[in-house]
Amino acid sequence: MKKYLLFLLIISLTVSFYGQGQGARKYRQVTETNNVPKEVRKDFNLRYPQSFVKMWYVTNIAYWYQDYSNTYYQGWYQPRNVVVYSFNEPSNYEVEFMRNDENSRAIFNRYGQWFETRTPLIKLPDEILSAIQESPFANWQISDYKERIEAPGMIGSVYRMQVSKDHLSHIIRINDDGRIVQIKTE
């Protein structure tokens, strides 16, 4: 039994050692504030003054699209007026920060161009809850994970959440006016 456990330990250490360096890319790596381009830090500070920065990351836009699950964000992103370059190596900067007692994350390209901010929510605003109650999803269960999204080209915010009933499941987006702007069937 001891030989078997020792063998498993050696195999797991070998796999973890070789899996990290042999062509594997990390798409989200912690970075020091002074390694973040000045343009990125300047735009962040102008956009979110008096916020508390928790951590900076160098990241890739592919990671940003797929950071919740493989399909959660697929099909949501429409063409934008802001140029966002996608590279094989990490090339964007993500910041985790606190503002108004909320944890948020924002992503910028290397030139300081803001791409998007996401804020997970514990509770939806009353106006959004009322809009759901007046929609076809009034009797549907709302997921625990919900978020507010701000992005260039959007007027106000959009609230994204999953709703389910029986064996049906949709991810919906509702704008600040309470209008459902997108439905994605799971």
How high is the pLDDT of residue 183?
87
Q: How confident is the model at residue 154 (pLDDT cuts 50, 70, 90)?
A: confident
Share of the chain above pLDDT 70, in %: 69
Q: What is the arithmetic mean of pLDDT over 127-151?
A: 93
CA separation, residue 155 to residues 7, 26, 79, 83, 179 (Å): 58, 34, 16, 19, 13
Q: How confident is the model at residue 103 (pLDDT cuts 50, 70, 90)?
A: very high
User: The pTM is what?
Assistant: 0.71
Q: What is the arithmetic mean of pLDDT over 72-93?
A: 56
3-state secondary structure at position 101: coil
Share of the chain above pLDDT 90, in %: 49
CATH class of residue range 122-186: alpha beta
User: Hey, where are the domains in the chain?
Assistant: 23-117, 122-186
